Amino acid sequence: TLQLTLALIKPDIVAHPHILNNVTRMILENGFYVIESKRLILTTSQAEQFYAEHKGKFFQNRLVSFMSSGPLWTYILCGDNAISRWRKLMGPTKVLKTVYDEPLSIRGLYGLTDTRNCTHGSDSEENAEREIQFFFPEFNIKKWYETE
């Protein structure tokens, strides 16, 4: 099934032109289409709001400060089973697991730590909708699915 998902390219990757090119190439070569994109910088309160489910976790502060430390690329990606395929291409969150299980994933190749892990992807249809609306409030997701 054709799906939309939200992808974030995190600040460390955006800061490095060669790695940003490689990650972008991996997205396109894996059959994803970029429906919308924006380059932006989150405030700390926007980062807190986006990651509200991680409020109070031990890594919340470092996550919020990292995610607001520089520009992000935000994409609405479209593709067959885009949610799970994008997460597969990213690889697992934790860097040690990634290098063992998915060494050729984006995080396997370029992840630095459990926080500085290159990219983000929605984990369910419900969260994809919420996260797309967070970054693209003007995008009419319901209409897109109806007219697809």
Active-site residues, by number, are 120
Judge whether 131 and 50 are in contact, CB under 8 Å. yes
Kindly provide the b/e burial profile for residues 58-67, where b requires at least 16 CB atoms within 10 angstroms of the residue's own CB: eeeeebbebb
Q: Which is nearer to ligand CMP, 2 or 96 (CB)?
A: 96
**Between residues 51 and 144, which has the closer beta carbon with respect to ligand CMP?**
51
Residue 144 one-letter amino acid = W
Q: Which of residues 60-119 bind ligand CMP (CB under 6 A)?
A: 63, 93, 114-115, 117
The answer to whether the beta carbons of residues 64 and 47 sit under 8 Å apart is yes
User: What value does the CA radius of gyration of the chain take, rounded to a whole number of Å?
Assistant: 15
Per CB under 6 A, 120 contacts ligand CMP: yes
Nearer to ligand CMP, 4 or 106 (CB): 106
Residue numbering of the annotated binding site for ATP: 10, 59, 87, 93, 107, 117
By the criterion CB under 6 A, which residues form the site for ligand CMP?
A: 54, 59, 63, 93, 114-115, 117, 120
